[in-house]
Amino acid sequence: MGRVLNIKILLWVIIILSLALVIEKKYKSDNYVDRENMKDNESNYKDLSPEEEYVMLQKGTERPFTGKYVDHFEKGFYACKRCGAKLYESTSKFKSSCGWPSFDDEIEGAVKRLPDPDGRRTEIVCANCGAHLGHVFTGEGYTPKNTRHCVNSISMEFVPAAAAKASGKNDKPETAIFASGCFWGVEYHFSKLDGVIETTAGFTGGTVENPTYKQVCTGKTGHAEAVKIVFDPAKTGYEDLIKLYFETHDFTQVNRQGPDVGTQYRSEIFYTNDKQKQIAEKYIKILEDKGYKVATKLTLTKEFYPAEDYHQDYYEKKGSTPYCHIYKKIF
């Protein structure tokens, strides 16, 4: 009898250990961001000190009130110390007296949330490289957003607004082209965005050279009504333009926008370089994760043809506002 009992106990021990190994393996695959392989691409990241590795790679925590950004409120943004990806704008930082830098919002798509191994908290890591940042808490009532990102100073580096503005990549105007229905409404919203230097209503994406508005309206030219935007990247970035683009039209509609129907009213982003394409893809993914069925197409920029003069700054000349392009905050 005792021998049978011992065999049963042994079998239960084997079963329990097997289940534990399966659970541990699944936990690592589902909830970790390649922590065991985080150094595989180390050549692409910055060298870390032992203290930085302890926090960012081993999920350690710096002592409270010792980080250099606890009481830091200069204008600019905070980036991942490991890979340089932008994480938080200074405008989202607030004083919580918790001992670590606190933010009530992250830059969209910059931070990933994971269940913490302690089973109680939610860990936050850099969405780009997986480096440990800290934890996120909700329901504390510090700000109207009711969220607190508790971040280790050692996981971040601060970039002052003046330095960002003076960087080499921000020294010349850039161009963006968007199609999202009647170009009157599109131009109206973008012309009011700070940092936009010039807007032009026109046509692109088709096969007919120098088309007229009447020709495009037939739907036989392949062109879309679009707006070319020249902007100062020191004042507004392409991400700001992308956000406004999606927030001022129904990107789930195919070949139409409100009462305007036809291929010329399609939703399409005409990117000028790979960086713009990557940013557009990033925000389409964000929208899809939010549950939207995005119909917007991505196309490398083609020849852009300005429309007739009476189409330029249409609503400014008319003294009215768009009826089919209404701003709706999404991000």
The answer to whether 137 and 113 have CB atoms below 8 angstroms apart is no
- Which candidate in 126, 129, 150, 324 is catalytic? 150
Residue 80: active-site member: no
Q: Is the dihedral of CA 62, 67, 73, 78 positive or negative?
A: negative
- Whose tokens are 């692109």? That residue is 204
The answer to whether 154 and 131 have CB atoms below 8 angstroms apart is no
Q: Whole-angstrom Cα distance, residue 242 to residue 240?
A: 5
Give the DSSP letter string of 121-153: SEEEEETTT--EEEEEEESS-SSTT-EEEEE-G
Buried-state track 285-301, b at ≥16 Cβ within 10 A, e below 16: ebbeeeebebebeeeeb
Residue 182: active-site member: yes
Which are the contacts of 158, defined by CB distance < 8 A and separation ≥ 6? 69, 72, 74, 76, 77, 78, 79
Sheet holding 76-80, edge to edge: 86-89, 76-80, 156-160
- Which candidate in 126, 182, 217, 324 is catalytic? 182
Q: Which residues are catalytic?
A: 150, 182
